[in-house]
Structure formats: C-alpha cells, structure tokens
Amino acid sequence: MNTPSKRIAKRQSSVSQRAVVQRDGWRFRVLWGVTIAIFSLLMVRAFYLQVIQHQFLKAKADAMVMSVDRIPAHRGMILDRNDTPLAISTPLSTLWLDPKEYLQQKAEMEETLVALRKDPNSKALKRKIPKTNFDLNALALAVGIDPNDLRAKIQSKPRSRYLLLRRQMRPEDAEVVRSRKFQSVYKQTDYQRFYPQAQPNAQLLGLTNRVGKGIEGLEAQYNDVLMGQDGQMRVIHDKQGNRIKDVDLVKADRPGEDINLSIDGRIQYIMYRELAAGGIANNARSATAVALDAETGEVLAMSSWPSYNPNDPNGLSNKDAMRNRAVIDSFEPGSTMKPLTMVAALESGKYQPYSQINTSPGSLVIGNHTIRDHGNNGVLDLKGIIVKSSNVGAAKIALSLPNDTLPLFYQRVGFSKKTTLGFPGESRGLILPKNLWNQAEVATMSYGYAINVSLIQLAQAYATIASGGVEHPVTLRKLTGTPPAKRLFDSKIAGEVITMMEGVTVQGGTAPQAAIAGYRVAGKTGTAHKVNPDGRGYSANQYRGVFVGMAPASHPRIVIAVVVENPVGQYYGGLVAAPIFQKIMSESLRLMNVPMDKALEPTKTIKR
C-alpha cells in the first residue's frame, strides 16, 4: 500500500541533490580551468596579432586599399636667349586596366546576380552589386581600340596587373573616359615634350623618350638638369580603384630646371629657312650652318637641312636627318683653311701681307702629286692668294716653313680636338700624326685637304680671327658674365687677314654673292672634291661647297659658316654656300642691331 511516507520518500529520491563545493569541487575547477585556458589563448593570440604581427598585418591591410602613386616631376623648359620656349612639357594622361582585378570583380558581380535572382528582395545582395561599368565594348570604343583585341589581351594574361589602353591622351579626354566609371581602369599623368619650332631646332635639341628622359641632343646632354626628381604620394583607393584620399606625401617632387641657350630663335628660324631654300635650289644632299657671336663665343644659331619633326613619332625613322651635322660630321674644308695658313705665315715673321709669291704656271709638283690652280695667276701677294684662292700659293708658303709649323698652328686654334660644347657624339676632327707630316701632306693641308674638321671647329677658328686673335670657347648656354678669353695670336695679324678676306666678297673675288649692303664683309670660299665611298681617291663629280665669313669687317660681331653637301649643277662655294650666308648674315645683323660700317650705295634711278 502506497502510504504517505513512502510517497514522500520516493519524491525526495527523484530530486537531485544540491551541488556543494565539498562534493563537486572538481567540476568547478575543470570549468574555470577551461575558461582561463581559452581566455589565455585569446590573449596570446591577440598579443601575437596586435603586437608581434602588427606591422605585417597593417601592411597587408594597407596594400588592399592603399598604394604609393608616383608624382611625375615637371621637366624644365629649354629657352632661347630671349626667353622664347624651344622645348616645353605638357601634361598628358595614360589609361590602363588591371586585368586580374577586373576579372575578380566581374566574377563576384556575376555570383551576386545569380544569388539575387533567387532572392530578388534581398537588400544586402543589392548593395553588393558594384556601381562600375564592366562593358569592354564601351571601354574599347572610348579609348579607340578594337574590342576583340582588348578581350584577347585580358584573356591571354588574366593575372596581369597592367594592360595599357592608351597613351598620351589629353587630360580632359581621359577624364571623360574615367567619368564613365569603367571597372579597374586607372589613370596616370605623364608629360609629353613639345617643340614649338620643330624642324629648325630638331638636331640641336634632340628629343626625349616615352618616360621623359633625354636621349638625343641637348635633351640628353642636360638631362640631369632638366628632368628633376619624381615625388611619391600615399593614397587610399576603393575596391574599384577610385582614388578616395591622399594620405600623406612620401616624397615631394622636384621640378627640373629651365635652361637658357645662347641660341636666338629668330636667327635659328631664318637659318633653317635659307638652308632649306638653298639645299632645294641646288638639289643638294644637305646644307648646314653655324652662327657665332665673335665677341663671346656664344652659338647664335645651329641648324641643318633636311630635318625632322620631333613632335611626330612617325617621323623618327630618318636617322640621317636626325644628326647634328655641324658638330658630329667632319670633312675636308678645302680653301677655307687658307686664311688660317696666312695667319701662320704672318706669325712666322717670314712673310708680310705684301710678300710676293710666284704661282706660275698654275701648278706645282711635289713627288708624284700635282697641285693645281684654276689657271695661271702669276705673282700674287698674300691677299691675292686669298682672293684668287690659289692652291699653289698656299702650298708654297706652307713648304717654306718648317714641316710642323702649320699642323701645330691648326692644333692651337682648335682642330683635332673637341670644342667646349660637350655635345653628344661631337667629332674631334683629324690631323694626321706627326710622323706623317711630310711635304706632300703639309702642302695639301694648307688648302684644306689631308685634314678633317667639323663646321663648329671651322667657325670657332674664324671667330678667333674675328675677335683679334682671342679665342672665346664656344658655348650653347647663354652667358651672363664676362666670357672666357685666351689670346692665340697677335691682333695685328688678325686684322691683316680680315682685310685680305674682304677682297673675296667684292667684284673680282670668289664670292661677291656674300656682299651685304651697308656692311663690309670678310670671308672665304671653299670647294672640295669628296672622298669616294670606298675611301680610295676623290670623286670626280661629288663636291662640297663651303663659305665662312664675318661682318661687319671693321669690327666683326657675327661669324657664320655654311656647308652644302653634294650640290648638283653649280658646286663652287661662292655659288652655293655664299648666297645662303648672305641671307642669314644680313637678317642677323638687323635683328642684333649691329651698326653699319659702310655707306649705302645710292639707289639708281631709271630714266623714262
């Protein structure tokens, strides 16, 4: 029988006994031990991540949203002596695509769209859809490339982080493309070099490559001065590549320095214009000229025809037209060496301007070599040798002096060594070694054979005569102080030779075409046979016409040297080079406000 006492006992046995520390202490200890162990592990892990791995994890996180962008330095300008820009840098944009990021973002978007079709009301999925443009057709058309070609490049290099879309876009055009929010399309700002006066300055200034480094001409010579130093900016991007915030300036950019050349852009333009006109008129291979300030050694102009346009990347295939012939090429200058031969003769003390030389019968045999004049000029004084351009007279003077007199003098005035220009690829010319200074070589040197010079060397030698025997080192940089000077020979001798050369530019001389109204002009022609391409002997029908002159002869200010290669038809220096000299010199004297030193001839009136 189920009595009340039994029921109470049964109920008490079905209730768990109350836990007490004395009986269940091990349970408390296990629970707290596990809790403390887990907490300790979390603390150790937190310490490891936040202290030991802090920099590494921060760098990984920053790398996902932060990058260091290049701040391109602005390349310095090249200016002429009057501060007219000859080379300037304009900002342009380059657009590129990150294929790896594009494909990843596209895959994520497609997954989201699939999920959204299953749950079209999900706000979370809708927020995950990027607001960028994945249309490659639209992107390709926007940047002007073939859509199929763009797809092929992305698929061929799916892990690439850089795919060029288009270079050298105008910034405003690049911004139009960027405003369409194409996925993973980035912009980089660069600078393109622009040359306002392209062809006249091309061989002198040279050009830069795609990254803005000078690779030719003065751009290469002064690259370290012009290019400056790029800066760096740490920036934050979103996952679509949009620049959100500039974090800090890592390194400030340093713009390149501007440089002022000694070149006068006006004279440079006139020089190229006349070289082109003269070269075309004479169907020549090329025409080159140099203009120097006789008082300072500054190069006022230096140009060559034919030229090229450095602003047009498609016009850089003609390497012959890209060469600065005035500095890089060397040649046998012909009779333009005779005034220098006269300086050496006068300096020797053996000759005076009135000394007589018998050039009959118009030829001179030295060993198995015959030197000839254009006819029998008879007895000539030193001026007559210059005016008539007598090879025989110059050779007889050279042979009457010690064999080393003329070569050593030529070396003294700058031949066979580079000038102070420092121009890339400059030629030093050639004077034969001392052991070959025999009579035949010295005789031919006297009238411009058996010696190679550059046009800048020839112009510098004449500038030394023009400045009264004082050499001013040639320079392409504008001078601001007193120019360096070194006396090479007596001023009296220089004046006497200038007087001799004046006879060349008047009637009866070899270059009356060089005369300029209102100015006394001194100069010398040169006509030389060119060496055969195989180096054996001289061509019978290929010539080089040269003229070097100075004005005003009473106090020379400007020296101009002109050389015309391979003229067809007329080829004498007085006919092909002197007219070019005359046009350049007359304009240069006017632009530089050089006073006249000769009365203008009265204008002839026509009787009706």
Are residues 533 and 455 located together in one domain of the fold? Answer: yes
Beta partners for 524? 548
Are residues 328 and 466 located together in one domain of the fold? Answer: yes
- Residue 187 pLDDT more than 90? no
Kindly state whether residue 3 falls inside one of the protein's structural domains.
Answer: no
Kindly state whether residue 43 falls inside one of the protein's structural domains.
Answer: no
Are residues 241 and 328 located together in one domain of the fold? Answer: no
| Tally of structural domains, the chain | 2
Are residues 252 and 278 located together in one domain of the fold? Answer: no
Kindly state whether residue 124 falls inside one of the protein's structural domains.
Answer: yes
pLDDT digits (tens, 9 = 90+) for 401-419: 999 999 999 999 999 999 9
The mean pLDDT of 74-89, rounded to a whole number, is 93
Residue 466: φ, ψ to 5°: -60, -30
Q: How buried is residue 26: exposed, middle or buried, by Cβ count under 10 Å (0-12/13-18/19+)?
A: exposed
- Residue 239 pLDDT more than 80? no
CA–CA distance, 184 with 179 (Å, rounded to integer): 13
Kindly state whether residue 57 falls inside one of the protein's structural domains.
Answer: no
Are residues 333 and 405 located together in one domain of the fold? Answer: yes
Conformation bin of residue 409: beta by default, left when phi > 0, alpha when psi is -120 to 50: alpha
Are residues 558 and 526 located together in one domain of the fold? Answer: yes
Are residues 347 and 381 located together in one domain of the fold? Answer: yes
Q: Which domain holds residue 574?
A: 265-309+323-591
CA–CA distance, 461 with 484 (Å, rounded to integer): 15
Distance of CA 601 to the CA centre of its chain: 45
Are residues 237 and 289 located together in one domain of the fold? Answer: no
Give the per-residue pLDDT at 562: 98
Please report, for the domain that includes residue 400, its CATH number.
3.40.710.10
pLDDT digits (tens, 9 = 90+) for 480-494: 999 999 999 999 999
pLDDT digits (tens, 9 = 90+) for 256-271: 899 999 999 999 999 9
Annotated catalytic, 14? no
Residue pair 514/504 in contact (Cβ under 8 Å)? The answer is yes
Residue pair 564/282 in contact (Cβ under 8 Å)? The answer is yes
Are residues 175 and 292 located together in one domain of the fold? Answer: no
What is residue 73's three-state secondary structure? coil
pLDDT digits (tens, 9 = 90+) for 416-474: 999 999 999 999 999 999 999 999 999 999 999 999 999 999 999 999 999 999 999 99
Please give the DSSP secondary-structure letter assigned to residue 360: T
Residue pair 549/497 in contact (Cβ under 8 Å)? The answer is no
Comparison of pLDDT for 487 and 12, the residue scoring more = 487
Q: How confident is the model at residue 249 (pLDDT cuts 50, 70, 90)?
A: low
Kindly state whether residue 58 falls inside one of the protein's structural domains.
Answer: no
The mean pLDDT of 10-35, rounded to a whole number, is 65
Residue 535: φ, ψ to 5°: 80, 5
What is residue 285's three-state secondary structure? coil
Give the per-residue pLDDT at 594: 96
Closest CA relative to residue 77, chosen from 264, 218, 229: 218
pLDDT digits (tens, 9 = 90+) for 354-390: 999 999 999 999 988 899 998 999 999 999 999 999 9
Packing angle, helices 265-281 and 198-205, rounded to 10: 100
Among residues of the chain, what percentage have pLDDT more than 70?
A: 88
- Residue 53 pLDDT more than 50? yes
What b/e sequence results for 520-558 when a residue is b if at least 16 CB atoms lie within 10 Å of its CB, and e otherwise? bbbbbbbbbbbbeeeeeeeeeebbbbbbbbbbbbebbbb
Give the per-residue pLDDT at 599: 87
Packing angle, helices 455-466 and 338-348, rounded to 10: 50
Packing angle, helices 265-281 and 578-591, rounded to 10: 160
Reading the block at residue 78, the tokens are 């090249």
Which residue carries 């996180």 as its tokens? 61
Kindly state whether residue 29 falls inside one of the protein's structural domains.
Answer: no
Helices (H), 413-522: 439-445, 455-466, 491-502
Are residues 239 and 331 located together in one domain of the fold? Answer: no
Are residues 431 and 534 located together in one domain of the fold? Answer: yes
- Residue 14 pLDDT more than 80? no
**Given CA atoms 20, 25, 30, 33 in this order, what sign does their dihedral have?**
positive
Q: Which of 89, 184, 307, 335 is catalytic?
A: 335
pTM, to two decimals: 0.81
Q: How confident is the model at residue 608 (pLDDT cuts 50, 70, 90)?
A: very low
Please give the DSSP secondary-structure letter assigned to residue 313: G
Distance of CA 478 to the CA centre of its chain: 18
Give the list of residues 6+ apart from residue 488 with CB closer than 8 angstroms, or none: 412, 413, 464, 469, 470, 471
What is residue 542's three-state secondary structure? strand
Q: How confident is the model at residue 502 (pLDDT cuts 50, 70, 90)?
A: very high
Please report, for the domain that includes residue 73, its CATH number.
3.90.1310.10
- Residue 110 pLDDT more than 60? yes
Q: Which of 105-119, 167-181, 207-221, 424-438 has the lowest mean pLDDT?
A: 105-119
Are residues 448 and 546 located together in one domain of the fold? Answer: yes
Kindly state whether residue 481 falls inside one of the protein's structural domains.
Answer: yes
